[in-house]
């Protein structure tokens, strides 16, 4: 699977936690094609949100991110 070209990922309501969100954030740093990410109704927490924020400083393709209720 080539995560640098992923163009769709909707793991909403999947019980994703901090560990999974941190791994996703690392992938987002390299991704060049994902325009939308829906993470609503997951348990990403503050640390996961911080990891995502750091990743977004490097990701130029993501245009919309839905965190919903963390």
Written as tens digits, the pLDDT of the chain (70 aa) is 455 566 666 676 678 889 999 999 998 998 888 888 888 888 888 999 999 999 999 998 899 888 876 5
**C-alpha–C-alpha distance, residues 42 and 70, integer Å:** 6
**pLDDT for residue 31:** 85
Q: Is residue 4 part of a domain?
A: no
**pLDDT for residue 66:** 86
Q: Is residue 27 part of a domain?
A: yes
**C-alpha–C-alpha distance, residues 60 and 45, integer Å:** 23
pTM of the model: 0.79
Q: Is residue 3 part of a domain?
A: no
State the residue range of the domain holding 19: 9-36+44-61
> What are the CA-CA distances from residue 34 to residues 7, 17, 22, 45, 60 (Å)?
4, 21, 17, 22, 9
Q: Is residue 21 part of a domain?
A: yes
Residues near 25 by Cβ (< 8 Å), separated by ≥ 6?
A: 48, 51, 52, 54, 55
Q: Is residue 1 part of a domain?
A: no
Q: Is residue 28 part of a domain?
A: yes
Domain count, the chain: 1
């Amino acid at each position: 699977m080539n995560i640098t070209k992923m163009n769709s990922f909707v793991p909403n309501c999947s019980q994703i936690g901090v560990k999974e969100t941190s791994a996703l954030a690392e992938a987002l740093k390299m991704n060049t094609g994902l325009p939308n990410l829906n993470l609503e109704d997951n348990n990403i927490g503050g640390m996961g949100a911080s990891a995502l924020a750091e990743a977004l400083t490097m990701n130029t393709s993501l245009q919309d991110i839905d965190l919903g209720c963390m």
